[in-house]
Amino acid sequence: MSIKRIKLWDLPTRLFHWLLVVFVSAAVITGNIGGGAMDWHGRIGLVILGLVVFRLVWGLVGSSHARFASFFPTPATLRAYLRGQWQGVGHNPLGAFSVFGLLTLIALQLVTGLFSNDDIAFRGPLYDLISKDLSDRLSGFHGLTSNALIALIILHLCAIAFYAHVKKDNLVKPMITGWKDVEQGESATGGGAIAFIVALLIALAAVYVGSGAWLPAPPPPAAAQTTPTW
């Protein structure tokens, strides 16, 4: 069969992917450093919140290959893939599991991080909305899911290396250029400026809510009472 070049990944999808790589790496580093770096850890978390919400919306209104419906794994597609009968140009069924798994774990990290605390100086922006006991439990869960996220990222990288060296399928290049040479398949369609603006506005709204900027300011500390000396 002849080889043709198609537009696989749109620019918003590619920007999301590489920005997520950068900011998740930064979140892992600052979280492990702790101390004063936790303030940056919180800010980075809000950026990741915006990225993930953008991707969730883009997965509904973005271009055809970026939409979740185009690669959502089903038993039928998984069986076809394992038998070598799957035909597609985007995420294969196993890759789709990785995508949804990563998004799920990152979402859990975000939700728990917004309410967490480190018992020293850091409090999540929505900490005041819950009790200290619940915040402590969410903080513990935040730490556990971070380990699971790191493990899944390592597995994801191993899969990319396997496809590149064994199956001779470079998954990274299309995520950089947007183009891929295939035997069959069509270029992505849909998305566009209006869809992008809608996804961006929803993402910014999510960052605003997550930042806690809408919460009332805490009352000023009570003035210290002094005892008269007379």
pLDDT computed for residue 88 by the predictor: 87
pTM exceeds cut of 0.85: yes
Name the stretches of the chain with pLDDT < 50.
none
pLDDT computed for residue 176 by the predictor: 97
Structure tokens given for 116:
């967490």
Structure tokens given for 49:
């919140």
- Residues in CB range of 67: below 8 A, 6 or more apart: 59, 60, 61, 190
Residue type, 96: A
pLDDT computed for residue 229 by the predictor: 61
Distances (CA, A) of 23 to 29, 44, 47, 224: 10, 6, 8, 43
Q: Count up the domains in the chain and report the number.
A: 1
Residue 129 resides in a domain: yes
Residue 222 resides in a domain: no
Q: Which domain holds residue 28?
A: 12-211
Residue 76 resides in a domain: yes
Residue 176 resides in a domain: yes
Structure tokens given for 171:
């998954």
- State the CATH number of the domain containing residue 101: 1.20.950.20
pLDDT computed for residue 221 by the predictor: 65
Residue 3 resides in a domain: no
- pLDDT tens readout for residues 60-77: 999 999 999 999 999 999
